[in-house]
Amino acid sequence: MKIKPENGYILVEPVEEKVKKGGIILPDTATKERSELGKVIAVGEGYWSNGIFIKPTVKKGDTVLFGKYDAKIVKVGEKDCYFIEAKDILARIENFTIR
């Protein structure tokens, strides 16, 4: 299935960190909270704000940080992915590796 976001939306696949803080092993139910990190799968063209057209600054393949509750969950194939408005992207993370 191919999804192309419209306007200022960005499609993001969640990235789960594998490292537990302090070496504590958490039960599976404690780690089911929405991810705040994700890999950009697709980017919309942009959106209008006060008569100015704004293009998203992220591109496919970037790792981004976003607010937990700013995302709308969609099912893409077997995976849960997020639609996020470009203005809700908090940061682009460079040199990100899962430990």
Q: Which of 66, 72, 73, 68 is CA-nearest to residue 88?
A: 66
Q: What is the CATH number of domain 9-20+34-93?
A: 2.30.33.40
Q: Residue 75: pLDDT above 90?
A: no
Q: What single string gives the DSSP state of each residue in 26-92?
A: PPGGGG-SPPSEEEEEEE---EEETTEEE--S--TT-EEEE-TTS-EEEEETTEEEEEEEGGGEEEE
CA geometry: angle at 41 spanning 13 and 44, to 5°? 120
Q: What is the pTM of this model?
A: 0.74
For 33-50, write each residue's pLDDT tens digit. Answer: 555 889 999 999 998 989
Residue type at position 25: I
